[in-house]
Amino acid sequence: MGGLNTFLVVALGALYGTSDTLANVALTGLLSMNALGVLVGGLLASRTTRHAAVAALALHGATWLTFRTTDELNARARRCASLLWWIVVATTVLITVSSFRLLPQLTSNFTAHPWGFVFPVFALAGLFGVKFFLRGDADALAFLASCLYLVGMLTSVAFSLYPNVLPASTYPAFGLTIANAKAADYGLKIGLIWWVVGMALAAAYTAFTYRHFAGKINADDADERQHF
């Protein structure tokens, strides 16, 4: 970027015969947009606090698009997923290392119950499965591998935290657990009833939607499915 800023005016004049005035306007625009990009990027980064979750869900969405689309959109989604995969790997390693460094007690459940290692194994298998199946053009399996990664990460977090909900980094007694953070028993019972009803409706709607929009989607399907 430094070389471009230094030689842009000269290069435009020598290669394209651009006048000095217009070349300087172009340089001013380049520097202004560069500064604006830094400011906007910093603003977005400061407001995005869960980078690992954003990257993981973006990868999940990209694998979904590769699973459901064809032609150019499928190719673009595949390239996007391949790039996002590296970002997810980096954020997964970073968040895992930092979590165990800040909260060493997270290892206690794995030490007491070794069978819990199956959850991070699921996450690793899903993560590397995404890359493997994307390379093999197995779109459906890549999406399922992404699902396995998300399930493995969520269950790993829940298993390592239990019975804590929000552990305290200063003194364990100050943390929130499932015992001191739960609602009243009556509220939990009512909530469970409505949760069952709500999940049943959501499952029925999801099954209906997936049944009517099954298979790959391409541009020619727009007219056929516009009534939905």
- Residue 162 and residue 70 in one domain: yes
pLDDT in tens, 148-183: 999 999 999 899 988 888 887 777 777 888 888 888
- Residue 56 and residue 158 in one domain: yes
- Residue 160 and residue 226 in one domain: no
pLDDT for residue 34: 63
Work out the pLDDT band at 23, boundaries 50, 70, 90.
low
Q: In this predicted model, which residue has the larger pLDDT, 2 or 24?
A: 24
Mean pLDDT of the chain: 80
Residue 41 pLDDT greater than 70, yes or no: no
Residue 125 pLDDT greater than 90, yes or no: yes
Number of domains into which the chain is organized: 3
- Residue 138 and residue 209 in one domain: no
pLDDT for residue 74: 85
pLDDT for residue 31: 61
Among candidate residues 137, 153, 178, the one where a domain is terminated: 178
- Residue 161 and residue 55 in one domain: yes
Q: In this predicted model, which residue has the larger pLDDT, 92 or 209?
A: 92
Contact by Cβ (8 Å): 122, 151: yes
- Residue 37 and residue 85 in one domain: no
pLDDT for residue 42: 47
Among candidate residues 140, 162, 178, the one where a domain is terminated: 178
Supply the pTM of this predicted model. 0.71
Residue 48 pLDDT greater than 70, yes or no: no
3: left (phi over 0), alpha (psi -120 to 50) or beta: alpha
Q: Which residue has the tokens 């380049």?
A: 30
* Percent of all residues in the chain with a pLDDT value above 70, rounded to a whole number: 73
pLDDT for residue 46: 45
- Residue 69 and residue 7 in one domain: no
- Residue 161 and residue 198 in one domain: no
* Percent of all residues in the chain with a pLDDT value above 90, rounded to a whole number: 31
- What phi and psi values does residue 204 have, to the nearest 5 degrees? -65, -45
Work out the pLDDT band at 194, boundaries 50, 70, 90.
very high
- Residue 56 and residue 148 in one domain: yes
Give the dihedral of Cα atoms 107, 112, 114, 115; nearest 10 deg: -110
- What phi and psi values does residue 221 have, to the nearest 5 degrees? -80, -10
- Residue 21 and residue 60 in one domain: no
- Residue 167 and residue 59 in one domain: yes
- Residue 91 and residue 148 in one domain: yes
Residue 43 pLDDT greater than 50, yes or no: no
Residue 19 pLDDT greater than 90, yes or no: no
Q: Which residue has the tokens 């364990």?
A: 172
Domain that holds residue 215: 183-228
Residue 193 pLDDT greater than 50, yes or no: yes
Residue 32 pLDDT greater than 90, yes or no: no
